[in-house]
Amino acid sequence: MSRHDAYRLLARLDRWFRLDMPAARFGLHVLIVSAAGLVPALAVFIALSPGLAAHLASDATALMRFGRQILTNGVPVVLVVNFIGFVLFAARGRRGPVATLGVDLAARLAAFIGLHAVIYPASALWFDSFGGDPAQALRVVAPTLAAAAGFSNLSGVYLYATLLGAAPLAGAAALALAQGRGRMAQGLGAALARLPDRARGPVLLGGGVLVYVGVVAGLLTLIAGRLAV
């Protein structure tokens, strides 16, 4: 791994997301990345939920409601959060990989929480969800966010689908930290030195993504706890 690998990774992402790119093409790329995150996250959730697949297959009404919730809640959340994240990435200027990831983390987390605070009351008004009570819809936002951090509900599917969109940024930040100076870089270098050469890059990239996901999940849990007070 050279010290330029982190910037090369960001340069590859630049090919997909630039401010001078036609809006339709930029939006198409956001849609592709969003679908690439949402479909596997949803598949894993269904596979991990006992009886859910069979229930949806045998009950057309339940399947329709499940699909409607994904289309009206999940797709807008994933698209908007990814759009915000990639616009900020494209507008990063001279920010390095670590700073870029920090901005991305804050923006995605704020957007995810804010969208739930908007979509839930809207669903109560438009689709009679939550008994048609917007106030009740707002009251369930905090526990919903806490459960999402643990991948225990559909909001968790949307959360982790959006975090998959930030995987290249997390990987680039991990590369930058490992190639920098200081104790953290030395510690990462010592740990990676124990691995075969071919495994070092994938392990570092994967570790960066896992740390990013863990930090977001931890922060969301803390924020949800504060909102529930």
Task: Please give the pLDDT value at position 124.
Answer: 82
pTM over 0.95: no
Mean pLDDT score of the chain, rounded to an integer? 84
As a whole number of angstroms, the distance between CA 181 and CA 170 comes to 18
As a whole number of angstroms, the distance between CA 2 and CA 164 comes to 25
The pLDDT of 109-116, averaged and rounded, is 92
How far lies 214's CA from each of 99, 151, 195, in Å? 18, 12, 23
Task: Please give the pLDDT value at position 194.
Answer: 61
The CB density around residue 190, as the number of other CB atoms within 10 Å, is 9
Q: 2 pLDDT band (50/70/90 cuts)?
A: very low
Domains held by the chain: number: 1
Q: Which domain holds residue 121?
A: 5-228
What digits encode the pLDDT tens for the residues 160-208?
999 998 888 888 887 777 776 656 656 666 565 565 666 566 666 777 8
Q: Does residue 90 surpass a pLDDT of 70?
A: yes
Spell out where the chain has E strands.
Answer: none
How far lies 142's CA from each of 116, 175, 208, in Å? 9, 34, 27
As a whole number of angstroms, the distance between CA 143 and CA 125 comes to 20
The CB density around residue 37, as the number of other CB atoms within 10 Å, is 23
Angle (CA) 131 132 137, round 5°? 80
